[in-house]
Amino acid sequence: MSSLPYILPVELRQPPYPQDNRVGSNSILTFIATEGTLFAMLFASYWYLGKGKPQWPMGDPPKLHYAIPMLILLLASSAVLHFGEKKVREHKVGAGMIFLGITILMGLGFIAMSVLDYQERLQTLSPTQNAYGSIYYTTVTLHAAHLVLGLMMLLYVLLLPSIEPREVTPHWPYHNAALYWHFVDAVWVFVVFIMFIIPNIGR
């Protein structure tokens, strides 16, 4: 056993010390893991309820003419946000914030389209009509709720005061909110694939 004193790395021996700012990112990744599991549970329930039924979805399968453009819009918004983050990393915070604003507008566009989708879908299917309606609306609405939460995060980053010098990189709140936004987008990919595209195959 050594009895020599532990030697700290040079940069930790006197101030200013390097700061660990990744607690937030690590936490939000863990949070995303649990949220992702929640959606996995919903998909599993969707599969379980449909297992062994002569017809699933019960009634007509959902139409794709809103879901696919919504998917494209969301994927594009993720790309835009990613560019924005890159700009921020290159010390161009102003440009990054503009990209962030565009992402928020695209998110609002998604919500507008999903309102139209709801209006159309509710004419033929209600959440209380059968088990399919229940799981369909629960999943889609839960996703929309998460999307709204993601939008709130992005808006918050947009409004954050420039207290800490913005030119320093990376911009951690930006990064963390972007992580969550990418997660929300990824969930929609699964929703569209499992609940919109597959039921339309072979009908």
Partner 1 sequence: MATAAELRLESVWETPHTLLGKLSTVDHLELGKRYIATAMVFLMIGGIEALVMRLQLAVPNATVMNPETYDQFFTMHGITMIFWYAQPILTGLGVYLVPLMIGARDLALPRLNAFTYWMYLFSGLFLYASLLFADSPHAGWFAYVPYTTKAYSPGLGMDFYALALIFLTISTTGAAINFIVTILKFRAPGMALSRMPLFMFSSLTTYFAAIFSLPALTAACLFLELGRKWNFQFFNVSQGGDPLLWQHLFWFFGHPWVYIVFLPATGLISMLLPAFSRHHIVGYPYVAAATVLTGAVGFGVWVHHMFAVGEPQMSMSFFSAASMTISVFTAVQVFAWIATIWKGRPVLKTAMLYALGFLALIVIGGLNGIVTAVIPVDWQLTDTYFVVAHLHYVLIGANLFPVLAALYFWLPKMTGRMMDERLGKWSFWLSFIGFNLAFFPMQILGVLGMPRRIYTFPVGMGWTSMNLIITIGAFILGVGILLTIVNFFQSLRSGEMAGDNPWNADGLEWLTSSPPKPYKFVHLPTVVSRNPLWDDYDELEDPNNERIFSQDRLTLSTTWVEAKATELARIPEDSIIPVFSSLAMSWIFVAILFTSLWWALAGVILTLISAAAWLWPKHEAKVALQPQRQAVPE
Verify binding: residue 169, partner 1, rule CB under 8 A. yes
Angle between helices 172-191 and 23-50 (to 10 degrees): 10
User: How large is the C-alpha radius of gyration of the chain?
Assistant: 22
Whole-number Å distance between alpha carbons of 74 and 148: 13
Count of residues in contact with partner 1, rule CB under 8 A: 61
Neighbours of 181 (CB within 10 A): 25
Q: Does 202 bind partner 1 (CB under 8 A)?
A: no
Residue 1 engages partner 1 in binding (rule: CB under 8 A): yes
- Does 15 bind partner 1 (CB under 8 A)? Our answer is yes
| Contact characters 110-129, partner 1, x per CB under 8 A | -----------------xxx
DSSP result, 24-62: HHHHHHHHHHHHHHHHHHHHHHHHHHHTT-SSSSSSSPP
Task: Give residues in contact with partner 1 (CB under 8 A).
Answer: 1-3, 5-6, 8-9, 12-23, 26-27, 30-31, 33-35, 37-38, 40-42, 45, 48-49, 53, 58, 89-91, 127-135, 138, 152, 156, 160-161, 163-165, 168-170, 172-173
